[in-house]
Amino acid sequence: MKIVIQPARPEQRRDRPAGDKLVFGKNFSDHMFLMDYRENGGWRDPRVVPYDNLTMDPAAMVLHYGQGIFEGLKAYRWADGRIHLFRPEKNVERFNRSARRMCLPEVDPNLHLEAIEALVRIDAEWVPRSAGSSLYIRPTMIATEAALGVRPAHECLFYIITGPVGAYYPEGFNPVRIYVSDEYVRTVRGGLGEAKTMANYAASLYAQEIAKKKGFTQVLWLDAVERRYVEEVGTMNIFFRIDDELVTPPLTGSILPGITRDSVIQLAGHWGIKVTERLISIDEVMETIETGAMKEIFGAGTAAVISPVGSLFFKEKTYKVQDGGVGEWSRRLFDEITGIQYGEKEDPFGWVREVKP
Ligand SMILES: *Cc1c(COP(=O)(O)O)cnc(C)c1O
C-alpha cells in the first residue's frame, strides 16, 4: 500500500514553540498519519494529512470499552543535522503484540515504519535542535466502530501524531522520591500489564494522585497477588544495583517489556556487568538498602531514559538509597544510551536508524 501525502497549506500550519519552551505532550506537529480498518477489507487508505481533530461517533467502542493501544518513541537530531530513530523496529513489533492482546488488528511492520518515517520527514523542521530535545512519536490504535456491546470492534483507526519535547532533565540529572503503593495495584498477571493499552494508565491514576499529594514523584508498583514483588516504577521498568550485580524483575506478564529495559540489559552485559532477571521482594529491597548493599535504584523508559531513585517511602518510613544522589551506573547508562541516540557514541548494536531526507 502506498502512503498518500497531503501537505498542510500555510494556514493549516501550527505555531512551533521555541527550543527552550518545549513542554512534554503539549505541542503537536503539522501533520498526522491515518489509516482505516474494516474487518472485511482490512487496512486501507494510509495517508499523511494536516493535523486536525478526529471525528467519530459517540458510540465509538474505544470510548466505552477502552479498546485502544499506543506506542512512544523519539526522533533525535544529530549535530550534523541528520535525524535518527532509536530501535523503532521494537516499537512496531510491540505495537502488534499489544494489538493481539487487545483483539485489535495488526499493522504490517514495514508499513508502520514507513508511516513513522514519512511523518518525521514531512515535519523534519519540527525535530528540535536544543540539547537533549527530540520529536516524540505516538502511534495509536482505537476501536472506532459505533456499537454498544462488549466484543472486539470490527472497525478501527490507526493514527500517528508527533510533537517536539524538551530535555527531560533541563536542570541536570535529578534523583526522584518514590512512594511504594501497597494498597493499589497497576495490573495483575494475566491482565493487561504487558500491553501498552490505555486501561493500564487509567488504573494507575488514583495511586499516582495519592503519591503526588504526599509529595512524591512516582509510584513503585508491587505485584497484585501478594503485594510483595516489585514490578515497575511509574511508567518505567525498574533496576537495582545490588553490590556489583544488576537486578530487574522478569517479564511475568504484568510488566511492560520496555525497550529501554532491553537496551540497559544488553549494554550492561556488553560491559561485563552481571544482569539477573528475577523476582525481588520489597522486603529484600528495604533490607538491602539498610545493609548498604543496594548501591543504586533507577527507572528506565523512553521519556527519561534513566531516572535515578533517591529514596523509597514504604509503610510510613523513608529509605534513602546510599546518599540519595545519582549512582555511577545510572550516570554511565544514561550517558551511553543518549550518546548513541544523538550519534555522539558508537552504536555497537545497530540501534539507530536514519530517517533519510
Ligand atoms: C512505555 C512503558 C515503559 C517503558 O518502555 P520503553 O519502551 O522503554 O519506553 C515501561 N512501563 C510502562 C508501564 C510503560 O507504559
Do residues 196 and 159 both lie within one domain? Answer: no
Query: Ligand 1 pocket, 264 CB below 6 A?
Result: no
Residue 21: what pLDDT? 86
CB 126 within 8 A of CB 29: yes
Does 225 score more than 90 pLDDT?
A: yes
In a domain, 350, yes or no: no
CB 175 within 8 A of CB 324: yes
Residue 173: what pLDDT? 84
Do residues 48 and 124 both lie within one domain? Answer: yes
DSSP state of 170: T
Query: Ligand 1 pocket, 311 CB below 6 A?
Result: no
Residue 24: what pLDDT? 87
Does 172 score more than 80 pLDDT?
A: no
Query: What is the tens place of the pLDDT at every residue in 112-149?
Result: 999 999 999 999 999 999 999 999 999 999 999 999 99
In a domain, 214, yes or no: yes
Give the residue whose CA is nearest to atom 14 of ligand 1.
Answer: 235
Query: Ligand 1 pocket, 235 CB below 6 A?
Result: yes
Query: Ligand 1 pocket, 231 CB below 6 A?
Result: no
Domain containing residue 274 = 176-341
CA distances from 53 to 89, 131, 140, 142 (A): 28, 31, 14, 14
Query: What is the tens place of the pLDDT at every residue in 176-213?
Result: 999 999 999 999 999 999 999 999 999 999 999 999 99
Question: How many structural domains does the chain have?
Answer: 2
Do residues 155 and 200 both lie within one domain? Answer: no
- Single-letter amino acid code for the residue at 23: V
Last residue of a domain, one of 165, 194, 220: 165
Ranges 173-177, 298-302, 350-354: which has the least confidence: 173-177
C-alpha span between 110 and 128 (Å, rounded): 26
Do residues 335 and 249 both lie within one domain? Answer: yes
Query: Ligand 1 pocket, 259 CB below 6 A?
Result: yes
- Backbone φ and ψ for 291, nearest 5 degrees, come out as -80, -15
Beta bridge partners of 47: 4, 34
Split at pLDDT 50, 70, 90, the class of 174 is: confident
* Percent of the chain surpassing pLDDT 70: 100
Do residues 74 and 209 both lie within one domain? Answer: no
Among 236, 248, 333, 334, residue to substitute to test ligand 1 (most atoms within 8 Å of Cβ): 236
Please state the pTM of the whole predicted model: 0.97
Residue 1: what pLDDT? 87
In a domain, 171, yes or no: no
CA 92 to chain CA centroid, nearest Å? 13
Q: How far away, in angstroms, is 235 Cα from ligand 1 center?
A: 6
